[in-house]
Amino acid sequence: MRSIRPKILQPLRGRQNWTYMTKFSDLSLDPKVLKAIEETGYETPTPIQAGAIPPALEGKDVLGIAQTGTGKTASFTLPMITLLGRGRARARMPRSLVLAPTRELAAQVAENFDVYAKHTRLTKALLIGGVSFGEQDKLIDKGVDVLIATPGRLLDHFERGKLLLTGVQVMVVDEADRMLDMGFIPDIERIFQLTPFTRQTLFFSATMPPEIERLTNTFLHAPVKIEVARQATASETINQGLVQFKPSRRDRAASEKRAILRALIEREGDKFRNAIIFCNRKVDVDIVAKSLKKYGLNAEPIHGDLDQSHRTRTLDGFRDGSITLLVASDVAARGLDIPNVSHVFNFDVPNHPEDYVHRIGRTGRAGREGTTLMIATPSDDKALAAIEDMVKQSIPRLEAPDLPKSERRSRKSDRTETDDRKETAAARKEPEQVSPAEPAPAETTPSEAPAPNSSRRSGRSRSGKGRDDNVVGMGDHVPDFLLRSFA
């Protein structure tokens, strides 16, 4: 495996533009592709683009390792469009295949293809869940140059006999480590085996765990390795922070975390524009979004249980600014190309260390400044240590913010209510003192003991109503059977 390092200047921290020694016009791309790039306003490629495009255009296998938000999508879309410029698609036999782990990432790749291939006659089909098979079958039957799919839906079409993969010339695997996390590796291996041995493979991943390395060693042929950043590192343009707190009570941990989240958003002030808030569980995504809306914040949830049309509308609203806070599960941790996200909040510490890098990579993209804040409790210490060990740095600790006034009032009310309950319980346990003015009760001999059915036995009246408030424990009311003589 040959490894190359692009001769590119690093991004200037705090600037909105990146400076490089290479331009797109130097990369031997199709003139129609260059025209589309120019119309988008881009002039210089990112490091992964400048490193991956030249060997890809030469027909070599490429292994690209780069952190999220560095422009990996264009690094395989641009050379793929150029390579497919000649030739014609045949029915049910796509000429190229792009595999993505999530619907959102697959849709993003399709959008990129539409932008950069608009001056060509290349066609595409998007195979993802949430869309009817009939519409997708019609596109495949016509013949497509580029097939963009999630692994599960692709195999569904193949098993129904609607798709052949023997004509694939270029195969792309995007976000391979995410494929591993989602359990798609067996599907990827099967798809590799269904494509021609002579195909060109472009393989991209942010990290290289052992299973992914085994996959590349098996299916890639003498790949050119492009590594533009140390594996599993966060962008230097992202300001990280961690707030640690200990819940006052275990049953209040979740509500106190939500209060801290609102206080963090409020504390950011003018720096805050919008944010993605990540939770580990889908149910917490819904709860946090509902809580934020309850307190007047513009928030919407997105996770895998929502249908595709709902997820698409939510993402469109977040992109156009009509939604300020996007509360998400890890389905949105990768593949969301939203350049102007100012903040990322980790409401939960990620279970997998790699997910931390991908989550915070939603901000600080393309050289912009970004801020990411994480909330942790003592139970998160182990997961937090794993994250810091992976990124080879300690996340700066921040002081916990002052809770919003409404939350302080709520917690004060809770304390008052608790104190009242304690005082009431203490009053019930404390025996009432007999007033000196009242004569002490006369002693009762066994012969004068009340009858067995007397109401005094249980401290209740014979009618069963009311209760003698003076009775504390046994007191003076000794049960009758203890006073009887058995001699």
Question: Going by C-beta distance under 8 Å and a sequence separation of 6 or more, which residues neighbour residue 438?
Answer: none
SS3 244: strand
Cα(314)–Cα(323) distance, rounded to whole angstroms? Answer: 8
Amino acid at 316: D
Cα(381)–Cα(258) distance, rounded to whole angstroms? Answer: 19
CB 157 within 8 A of CB 163: yes
In this prediction the pTM is 0.62
Cα(388)–Cα(356) distance, rounded to whole angstroms? Answer: 10
- CATH assignment of 2-227? 3.40.50.300
> In a structure prediction context, what are the per-residue pLDDT tens digits for the chain, which is 487 residues long?
555 544 333 333 333 333 345 789 899 999 999 999 999 888 889 889 999 999 999 999 999 998 766 788 999 999 999 999 877 778 889 999 999 998 888 988 999 999 999 999 999 999 998 788 888 888 898 889 999 999 999 999 999 999 999 999 999 999 898 888 788 999 999 999 999 999 999 999 888 888 999 999 999 999 999 987 655 566 677 899 999 989 988 888 999 999 999 999 999 988 999 999 999 998 999 999 999 999 999 999 998 788 878 888 998 899 899 999 999 988 655 556 677 899 999 999 998 887 888 888 888 876 678 999 999 999 999 999 999 988 888 999 999 887 655 555 455 544 544 454 555 455 455 444 444 444 444 444 444 444 444 444 444 444 444 445 555 555 566 667 666 666 5
Cα(153)–Cα(175) distance, rounded to whole angstroms? Answer: 17
Q: 238-409: what fold? A: Rossmann fold (3.40.50)
**Residues paired with residue 147 on neighbouring β-strands, in sequence order:** 97, 125
pLDDT at 448: 46
Burial call 67-91: b when 16+ CB within 10 Å, e when fewer:
bbbbbbbbbbbbbbbbbbeeeebee
- Among 414, 419, 420, 426, smallest CA distance to 251 is for 414
- Helical residues (DSSP H) of 162-252, grouped into ranges: 176-181, 185-194, 210-219
Enter the DSSP assignment of 250: G
Cα(248)–Cα(256) distance, rounded to whole angstroms? Answer: 8
Enter the DSSP assignment of 248: S
For 342-370, the DSSP string reads -EEEESS--SSHHHHHHHHTTSSGGG--E
Cα(332)–Cα(457) distance, rounded to whole angstroms? Answer: 68
Cα(453)–Cα(126) distance, rounded to whole angstroms? Answer: 85
- Tell me the residue ranges of DSSP E strands in 255-366: 275-278, 299-302, 325-328, 343-346
For 416-442, the DSSP string reads HHHHHHHHHHHHHHSPPPPPTTSPPPP
For 197, counting Cβ atoms within 10 Å of its Cβ (0-12 exposed, 13-18 middle, 19+ buried), the class is: exposed
Domain boundaries, the chain: 2-227, 238-409, 436-487
Cα(362)–Cα(342) distance, rounded to whole angstroms? Answer: 9
**Residues paired with residue 371 on neighbouring β-strands, in sequence order:** 239, 343
Question: Going by C-beta distance under 8 Å and a sequence separation of 6 or more, which residues neighbour residue 391?
Answer: 232, 233, 234, 353, 356, 357
Distance of CA 303 to the CA centre of its chain: 9
Instruction: Tell me the CA end-to-end span of the chain in Å, nearest whole number.
Output: 103
User: Is 2-227's fold the same as 238-409's?
Assistant: yes
pLDDT at 330: 80
Give the β-pairing of 275-278 and 397-398: unpaired
Question: Going by C-beta distance under 8 Å and a sequence separation of 6 or more, which residues neighbour residue 221?
Answer: 61, 201
